[in-house]
Structure 1
């Protein structure tokens, strides 16, 4: 039975994620698709349970009158059918409704609903550009995904469950009391006015503080995660105290929102308690006064006082539920500001897969500024022939890495066009573009998974023989065989630690090279691919790199000019423009910038002059 209700809703829907709306109702509605029927069913059951519970108070008043006026010897004969009906209601009908309500709420909604939100939000965020992640803490984004999913669930379910229960319960309560005497309704209506007034005053303020608190919590979490992620840098510069102060500042900001929230909660709690006890007193006083005038029965008094006491207890629950509702609404609004951002790099509506037949690359009058006024790349024209090996040379900031990022379409060009085999890269799908480009970067970050999973990331369907061949060609076999982790895994099954921190820079680089060797894409980008390797290891894998480059179009960036001197053509960039090009020998003979850079190298590295 449990599984039946668990399968009623889908926690991991196959639907393609789209940009969520940026307004509260539409945002919640967007993530509620597929859960409408169980939510509405739950709401209907809630209304039924509320009416039945109030009807029990009405029956209790009737029972009191029976006990006061009827003969005990004939009570069962006269009212036996009614008593049997109420017995079945209490022992059978209501428990079945409670069971059905619980199965829907706990099995169909509480787990699957937020998981569906996380799944869709995560898949949407994976499509965001590199720039999106450069502007946010990774921990902050993850926190917002987790918080917002729960907050949407709580907001929607509280509105459809708790709010319906309160509305139906209070309405039914007024109807039951009015049947006894309309004057008994007056204190409750007055209580309702004051109660709504208190909520009207306090809740918007709680909502504002809750929104600030959700943002402060995300910032606090993001700063802590940032310290943990970069713990080696923290240790290297002996900045434990600095990181503690950095986190302390965020914690103090979060604590300030907590204090302001708790002050409002105290004010609301005390105010509600005061009007609750005034209500109980007023109902009891009016009921006794009406009874002395013989206007109502003892049963009516029992109903009115019981419901007033019940309302007294419920009001605390209602207060916290309403406060929680608006707190969750604040969290949803805060998360919505991040999760509903449009993706900056999108596929064209009719984007086709890239088909690389030769590997020719063309940069046609390309300009890009990172949104700044001055240009990083300005009017660049460059044609790379199919199978040509090109080295990019230039001082830091010359635009080398930017050129590669534009080719990978991590950013869109602001003017001009980049083509691969005469196909504009902004007209093909991003996945197919990057599937046809293998890249080894200077800063190699590995996934916190096993060595095997990291290398197979290049081609998940590769055979074991192909995997081992890539490891051997990248000169990584020896150190991989000696790896182990705290869980007792060895070799290819050892975990590498977050971002590969358990490996040396050279080891990470060789894993990255093995990954690209396995990918075997027709276009290859080497961005300081051997910078983390010592000379002995570099020399050992240089032959493998040459094998990797065979038959491919290659763009290589290196400050160590000796590693790219043998390329077919060297392109010298300065301030985003091509200032020289030719072979190593030709550029040396020209005596220009490249010749100066070569002369200024110390130990084979590029100087900054």
Structure 2
């Protein structure tokens, strides 16, 4: 049975990545639709379980009347065997089976599937957000909202089915049964239902608002903690453990305050409903006794009516907790929706085609971009053509716009004016996946995945063989340290995990793994952003030889502050304040005596030497 239940729904069935609705009910419909059949089955089975319990109260009243009025106890079983058989069928078969099936559908089929479905599809959508989306928020806070969304939506749906739906069945069933006894018994139940609903309507909105605030405080706290742990090296280098304590404590205080306010609202609602529930028991029991005293109902009717309202009272406490949980989860979900359902800012056009690189020509035509600022642009009306197979170095002071230009080429941001073309194809009209798959890049701030060395290198080409991976590692000069690696679980060499963002490796080791990944990717366009800045001179010279070999026949854009490493490229483009101020070979730019010559002069006797033949030039000379 368990295997059958577990196969009723597959949360990972192939589906397009689409934006979840921003409205609460639309969000529910969006994620419930794939499990709609399962939900209907759960509703039906829950109804049968509730009706079977109501039947027990009917049997109770009948048995009390029959035993009270029986003149021959010795023949009771023979005279009323049909009633006892029906009761046994409900008690021993219908109710246990329906309750078991209801719990099985809930815990084995519905709950795991819906939780995974919401998390999986939310994760996939958020993963495709723009770079700025992740730069403007805590990664931990985003992850917390994605992880909370599944349980919050699941629990709220289960609360409605198991709580609200059960209460509705009980309430309607009670009214019908009371109508069969005496219409007057309906009055206190109806008044109770109205009072109960009015109290919920009046007191739930504050609970919902405070629940949303508590969820936000919880996500914020998670973001603060993850931020401190992620940057643990900086915390220790600056001896700021106590400062981080204070930073985290502020989040804890906000969280505790938010949850105390939520608890106060819940307590007020519970107190109000307890008074209403007590009045229901008193009113129905008193009215039933009065009706019995005037001969309108039997003793069995008193027993059934009293038992029903006591059960309603017990249920109301459970229902209160269920409704409280429901609105807590709704508040959590509303808080998550704001992040999860945010529209993508960089999207493929409906008719976007895969990029086809035949030659590798890159053209920037009158491009403009200023990160949304209104006080002037980072890049204004810039034009640049990189010929097929040309190796171009971007030079300039920090903040000149070099990395921004590269990010625009990768379409990590969308242009605000102009266009960028690769082999005549506007990058805004091709798919992002194809664009980035045709460009290989290594940056100075290399971040690796918390996976094995093998997996990190294979990231460049997922179908690469073990031989290809090891060859790329050797070419990137990583073969000398990888065999010596061992992680805390005892995995060694290429199987060793590198830690979050590669923290278990040195800067130079991380960069060598990243370069191995680039070599394996073998893209027709290369971007090198301080690609060897973290390496010592000996390793750098060896790797640059491999990179120079890789550049052959490819279009290359290289960024470096150490001018000696790019001085022998085909052309150097000097940028300043988002504009191209000079362009030419190393020799031509020195002769002009402009900004490049000034920067070169400052580095005379510099980081790797003053000879223009250093770095890539040495590889070229060989």
The TM-score with structure 1 as length reference comes to 0.98
Q: Write out the 4+ residue segments of structure 1 that deviate beyond 6 Å after TM superposition.
A: none
Q: How does 1:62-77 map to 2 (within 5 A)?
A: 62-70=62-70, 71-77=72-78
Residue in structure 1 matched with residue 620 of structure 2 by the alignment: none
Return the alpha-carbon distance in structure 2 between the equivalents of residues 194 and 381 of structure 1.
Answer: 72
SS state of the match for residue 167, structure 1?
Answer: helix
Residue in structure 2 matched with residue 557 of structure 1 by the alignment: 559
The offset of 1:114, in angstroms, is 1.0
Return the alpha-carbon distance in structure 2 between the equivalents of residues 252 and 472 of structure 1.
Answer: 52
C-alpha contact 1:13 1:116 (8 A) present in aligned 2: no
Return the alpha-carbon distance in structure 1 between the equivalents of residues 135 and 449 of structure 2.
Answer: 18
Stretch moving more, 230-239 or 286-295: 286-295
The offset of 1:271, in angstroms, is 2.1
C-alpha contact 1:42 1:161 (8 A) present in aligned 2: no
The offset of 1:468, in angstroms, is 1.5
The offset of 1:188, in angstroms, is 2.1
The offset of 1:164, in angstroms, is 1.3
Return the alpha-carbon distance in structure 2 between the equivalents of residues 226 and 25 of structure 1.
Answer: 33
Residue in structure 2 matched with residue 466 of structure 1 by the alignment: 468
The offset of 1:297, in angstroms, is 0.8
Residue in structure 2 matched with residue 96 of structure 1 by the alignment: 97
Deviations 1:132-156, CA, capped at 9 Å, x for gaps? 1111111111110111111111222
C-alpha contact 1:39 1:157 (8 A) present in aligned 2: no
Residue in structure 1 matched with residue 416 of structure 2 by the alignment: 414
Return the alpha-carbon distance in structure 2 between the equivalents of residues 468 and 527 of structure 1.
Answer: 24
Deviations 1:459-490, CA, capped at 9 Å, x for gaps? 12112222121111111111111111111111
Return the alpha-carbon distance in structure 1 between the equivalents of residues 93 and 349 of structure 2.
Answer: 59
Residue in structure 2 matched with residue 21 of structure 1 by the alignment: 21
SS state of the match for residue 288, structure 1?
Answer: helix
SS state of the match for residue 472, structure 2?
Answer: helix
The offset of 1:605, in angstroms, is 5.3
SS state of the match for residue 526, structure 1?
Answer: strand
Return the alpha-carbon distance in structure 1 between the equivalents of residues 168 and 267 of structure 2.
Answer: 25
Residue in structure 2 matched with residue 393 of structure 1 by the alignment: 395
Stretch moving more, 569-578 or 593-602: 593-602
Residue in structure 2 matched with residue 288 of structure 1 by the alignment: 289
The offset of 1:603, in angstroms, is 5.2
Return the alpha-carbon distance in structure 2 between the equivalents of residues 500 and 104 of structure 1.
Answer: 43
Deviations 1:494-537, CA, capped at 9 Å, x for gaps? 11000000111111011101110111101000001111112222
Deviations 1:388-420, CA, capped at 9 Å, x for gaps? 000000111110000000000101111111011
Stretch moving more, 593-602 or 131-140: 593-602
SS state of the match for residue 380, structure 2?
Answer: strand
Return the alpha-carbon distance in structure 1 between the equivalents of residues 386 and 607 of structure 2.
Answer: 26
Which of 417, 423, 426 in structure 2 is aligned with 1:424?
Answer: 426
The offset of 1:80, in angstroms, is 1.1
C-alpha contact 2:52 2:94 (8 A) present in aligned 1: no
Q: Where in structure 1 are there 5+ consecutive unaligned residues?
A: none
Deviations 1:569-594, CA, capped at 9 Å, x for gaps? 00001111111000000000000000
Aligned residues: 606
The offset of 1:348, in angstroms, is 1.2
Return the alpha-carbon distance in structure 2 between the equivalents of residues 553 and 313 of structure 1.
Answer: 75
The offset of 1:187, in angstroms, is 2.2
Return the alpha-carbon distance in structure 2 between the equivalents of residues 17 and 414 of structure 1.
Answer: 26
The TM-score with structure 2 as length reference comes to 0.96
Return the alpha-carbon distance in structure 2 between the equivalents of residues 411 and 269 of structure 1.
Answer: 51
Which of 522, 525, 536 in structure 2 is aligned with 1:523?
Answer: 525
Residue in structure 2 matched with residue 318 of structure 1 by the alignment: 319
Deviations 1:328-362, CA, capped at 9 Å, x for gaps? 11111111111111111111111111111111111
The offset of 1:118, in angstroms, is 1.0
Distance 1:602 1:589, change over 3 A: closer
C-alpha contact 2:144 2:222 (8 A) present in aligned 1: yes
C-alpha contact 2:364 2:421 (8 A) present in aligned 1: yes
Q: How does 1:324-343 map to 2 (within 5 A)?
A: 324-343=325-344
Deviations 1:76-127, CA, capped at 9 Å, x for gaps? 2322122212211211122222222222212221101110111111111121
Q: Where in structure 2 are there 5+ consecutive unaligned residues?
A: 609-622
C-alpha contact 2:170 2:312 (8 A) present in aligned 1: no
SS state of the match for residue 34, structure 2?
Answer: coil
The offset of 1:602, in angstroms, is 6.1
